[in-house]
Structure 1
Amino acid sequence: MNLDELKFDANGLIPAVVQDETTREVLTVAYMNEESLRKSLETRETWFYSRSRQELWHKGATSGNTQKIVEMRYDCDGDSLVVLVDPAGPACHTGAVSCFSENLLERSVERDSAELSDSRMDPSADQLASLSNSESSLNRTADQFASLSDFAVMLQLEKTISKREQEMPEGAYTTYLFEKGVDKILKKVGEEASEVIIAAKNRDPEELKWEAADLLYHLMVLLQEQKLPLKEVLAVLNKRKKPSAEE
């Protein structure tokens, strides 16, 4: 990255969109000045400039939720950055994985639908088509945000399993599995996989979702026992992904 190609604003700042390198979820949007950008490049961890405090800050310096930089890109105009990171914890001070956890799109769809229902005039065909297309687009985007939010459950589960292995609390089922060792864990993975097959053969979606959840849990316990991060598995899937015709 050539800093001479970047365009900082009148305050000497440039916006940085921070994304999870594996999931591509937008974690936060912050600002960098030249000094924080250089520190980010040197340390390979995110440094930003706080506009409210008028000072540099190192993400995770106090919380431990640092962000290891995997890649940094700048746009065609050179006036904004995308920072791909491997986060060590939540990006938001609230404890959420992403600072963008609130979804206004669903509310917008509900408001548009309510306005249409309350209208005293019969809508024209063009108005109906426009609203239908708008709702369809908003719902697709809302579904994308929901899928990223749902994925956060997997990351949280991975952290919980890791904590169980470290602390081994008495009476916890995860503790029991780690105490019994890899053979027991493998046996459970096999049993749960069989239960998934049976539920699928029986065309029982209610049973299938519970058995699939049990399989995922035991598989993640196995990954922890093998010291294989979930992100490495997801990275393999990401590499296998073929670009669509539109791309």
Structure 2
Amino acid sequence: MTIDFNKNNDGLVPAIIQDASTKNVLMLGYMNAEAYQKTKDTKLVTFFSRTKNRLWTKGEESGNVLHLVDIKLDCDNDTLLITVHPKGPTCHTGTDTCWAETNATNYGFISHLEEVIEDRRLNFKPNESYVSSLFAKGINKIAQKVGEEAVEVVIEAKDNDDNLFLNESADLLFHYLMLLQAKGFKINDVVNILKEREK
């Protein structure tokens, strides 16, 4: 890895810090060659502090260190993407990120879909919403619907119509997300179990 520390004539390169698990961006710092080497040697992310004019290991006072997972260099050789496992909040203000965001796992559209399901579950309008009406019928009906959709996925998997197979798969996933919420869970609870099994 050949990092161009002299591109900006100050010996520093930006270092974007990303949570290795959630993929959220936690902060932005700057590294010189010495900070980069110390980060590699200690496995704790160390920056060059422009305000303190010295090396600064994140969490050296608070204990909220950033455990190094990986370092990638961009195509121009002048910006680092550093993935970490953070210990505690990253920002000095006490928030998870320097943008005051919660460092929660996000599955993109699936997380959005979970929010929609939760909204329809909590803001009960059974006459206006399919989701609300299914929740109104109780967990047995939701579980039955998941079973029906699972059978339809199996049937379509044995045929050659990919469009039908994918549509039935979407129906199964949607109703499974509903069943999880009916039981008080979300998809991340299932993912955490899969992560434990990977070890």
Deviations 1:8-65 (A, max 9, x none): xx9xxx94622263xx5x32151367698455739933315xxxxxxx57357997x4
Aligned to 1:18: 18
Of 180, 186, 196, the residue aligned with 1:223 is 180
Distance 1:231 1:164 in 2: 20
Post-superposition Cα deviations, 1:149-183, rounded to whole Å, max 9, x if no partner, equal: xx411111112212221212351111111111101
SS of 2:125 mapped into structure 1: coil
SS at 1:58's partner residue? coil
Q: CA deviation at 1:196?
A: 0.6
2: distance between equivalents of 1:237 and 1:164?
A: 28
CA distance in 2, matches of 1:158, 1:185: 15
Aligned-pair CA distance for 1:229: 2.2
Tell me the equivalent position of 1:197.
154
Q: Say if 2:22 is the partner of 1:66.
A: no
Task: Indicate how the Cα distance of structure 1 residues 209 and 28 shifts in structure 2: closer, same or farther if over 3 A, else same.
Answer: same
Point out where structure 1 has 5 or more consecutive residues left out of the alignment: 1-9, 49-55, 68-85, 88-96, 98-150, 243-247
Structure 2 CA distance for aligned equivalents of residues 60 and 17 of structure 1: 10
> Partners in 1 of 2:134 and 2:20 — Cα distance?
31
Secondary structure of 2:89 counterpart: coil
Name 1:175's counterpart in structure 2. Answer: 132
Counterpart of 1:212 (choices 146, 166, 169) is 169
Distance 1:216 1:160, change over 3 A: same
Cα distance in 1 between the residues matched to 2:125 and 2:62 = 40
The match for 1:156 is 112
CA–CA separation in structure 1 for the residues paired with 2:167 and 2:116: 19
Q: Which residue of structure 2 lines up, in the alignment, with residue 241 of structure 1?
A: 198
- Tell me the SS of whatever aligns to 2:28: strand
How well do the aligned residues superpose, as a CA RMSD in angstroms?
Answer: 3.6
Residue equivalent to 1:27: 24
The 1-side partners of 2:63 and 2:16 are apart by: 12
Higher helix share: 1
Give the match's secondary structure for 1:41: coil
- The CA deviation at 1:184 is 0.6
The share of aligned pairs that are identical, in percent, is 27
Deviations 1:171-207 (A, max 9, x none): 1111111111101101100110111111112222110
Q: TM-score, normalised by structure 1?
A: 0.47
